[in-house]
Structure 1
Amino acid sequence: MGRAFPSTSSTAEPMPTPKFFRSLSRGWLSLLAILPLIALLSGFLPLDFSRPAPLVGDAKRQAELREHWQNGDLIVLVRHAERCDRSSAPCLGNVDGITVRGGLSAHAIGQDFAALGLANADILSSEQVRAVQTATSMFGQAPQEQEWLYNCEGSMLRQALQHKIAHRNLILVTHSECIEDLEHSVSVDDPATPDYASTLFVLSETDKSPRLLGYIDADQWPLNVSGR
């Protein structure tokens, strides 16, 4: 007599329906969608900004910039104007300096800084010819030259803060790699290369961490930072 097996017809689980699979899929997709946000808020993923926000078209931040300028709270980094050795345009002087076109652009930007007011500003420049020519074109006089505004790797923010005098704005005519170095030290993981003669405004108040206010490219001047 053969062995009897119990019937499974009454205990077998019903097969999931297509609707069940669709619901399950939607649930997993929703979970996967919010995981990066959860990780970001938990600090597992770094914030990644490639460049500070532009000041153009933002009246609120322009007003903030004017206020801090009047208080002498700003560190301002200006990249030198167009390099002559990387352009077919006529040179302003030596080939290791800037172009005539770059000099004119720097002069125009200097006029906008004059509209902001330079009575409470200190102006420093890299020793490189292209930076000195840019600063001279901007402000009509030779700047104080500083070696650290060219050899700046890993030290730009520290040096800038050391040279910043309370209640006086500090204008630094420097190089793209130095601007990127400072951005990285403040908050930017992967800084983008700033354009020629672009300007980065950094808020540096006493007993507070530095904060990037934003930038202005050379062709975005003039704008309402001077309240005109």
Structure 2
Amino acid sequence: MLPSNTLPNPAILARPRRRRSPMTLGAAFGLVLALVGGGAWLATRTPIVNLGNEQQLSDSGLLQAWKDGAVIVMIRHAERCDAAPGPCLAEPDGITVAGSQAAQRVGQGLHELGLNGADLLSSPKLRTRQTAHFILGQALASADWLGTCDPQFPAEAMAHKRPGHNLVLVTHNGCIDHFARQQHVPGGERASGYASALFVSLDGSGKARILGRLNEPDWQRVLASSGR
């Protein structure tokens, strides 16, 4: 027989097992649902690829899609005169001198891609018309929907895309945001820098796919490295 001081305490043996609180189980179940739901939400998000990265440019399929005339490119106007300290090109609601130079560099990049057969349109606002002039060396036809930037912008852009012809749109951050929003791009990735370009391809059924964004400083470098 064991000494009495080694016997288990009857009070401990009699202690009932602790039951999990229904509130605790409910909270855990809710956490699981939240995690699953969060994963599904993330799966629907469309990140914008940085085409300034040579590998991502190659993987995006942009160069082939451009050859096929299957691309819409939305270019934000260059640096605004009324929002920058540099000298203005002309009127305060236009672009800066530095902005005009940036637009010329974008234009050189677009010409490297090739503009034969491309359709070219600009917002009627002065800053976009000036940007378009320095990008393309000519005045462009303008369209009000490129300056209104309402939720109908994505439908308008796709309606103006002709099969086999790339479409170049010089527009505003708000318009580009509407297109990116429709494609489920997260809010933190939708903002476009001055003179940056968002490239979108359309397949044979008219379904849009964002290929990526090319910022103004990267045009010449990446196109040169890709053999353009």
Q: Is TM (by shorter chain) over 0.5?
A: yes
The residue matched to 1:77 in structure 2 has which SS? strand
- The answer as to whether partners of 1:48 and 1:189 remain within 8 angstroms in 2 is no
What does 1:42-57 align with in structure 2 at a 5 Å threshold? 43=40, 45=41, 47=43, 49=45, 52-57=48-53
Q: TM-score, normalised by structure 1?
A: 0.81
Match in the other structure for 1:104: 101
Quick one: distance in 1 between partners of 2:77 and 2:13? 81
Which of 201, 214, 223 is the equivalent residue of 2:221? 223
Q: Report the CA distance shift for 1:9/1:81 in structure 2 as closer, same or farther (over 3 A).
A: closer
The residue matched to 1:131 in structure 2 has which SS? helix
Q: Report the CA distance shift for 1:51/1:195 in structure 2 as closer, same or farther (over 3 A).
A: farther
CA drift of 1:158 comes to 0.4
Unpaired runs of 5+ residues, structure 1, are: 1-7, 17-29
Match in the other structure for 2:130: 133
Q: Report the CA distance shift for 1:13/1:189 in structure 2 as closer, same or farther (over 3 A).
A: same
**AA matched with 2:162:** I
What does 1:1-228 align with in structure 2 at a 5 Å threshold? 12=14, 35-40=33-38, 43=40, 45=41, 47=43, 49=45, 52-59=48-55, 61-62=57-58, 64-190=61-187, 192-225=190-223, 227-228=226-227
Deviation per CA, 1:180-206: give whole Å up to 9, x if none: 011111222425321110110011122
Quick one: distance in 2 between partners of 1:222 and 1:14? 75
Q: Report the CA distance shift for 1:203/1:10 in structure 2 as closer, same or farther (over 3 A).
A: closer
Unpaired runs of 5+ residues, structure 2, are: 1-9, 19-27
**AA matched with 1:185:** Q
Quick one: distance in 1 between partners of 2:29 and 2:215? 41
**AA matched with 1:219:** P
- The answer as to whether partners of 2:46 and 2:184 remain within 8 angstroms in 1 is no
CA drift of 1:153 comes to 0.9
Quick one: distance in 1 between partners of 2:67 and 2:186? 30
CA drift of 1:208 comes to 4.3
- The answer as to whether partners of 2:77 and 2:195 remain within 8 angstroms in 1 is yes
State the Cα RMSD in Å.
3.1
- The answer as to whether partners of 1:51 and 1:192 remain within 8 angstroms in 2 is no
**Larger helix fraction of residues:** 2
CA drift of 1:11 comes to 7.2
**AA matched with 2:36:** I
Q: TM-score, normalised by structure 2?
A: 0.81
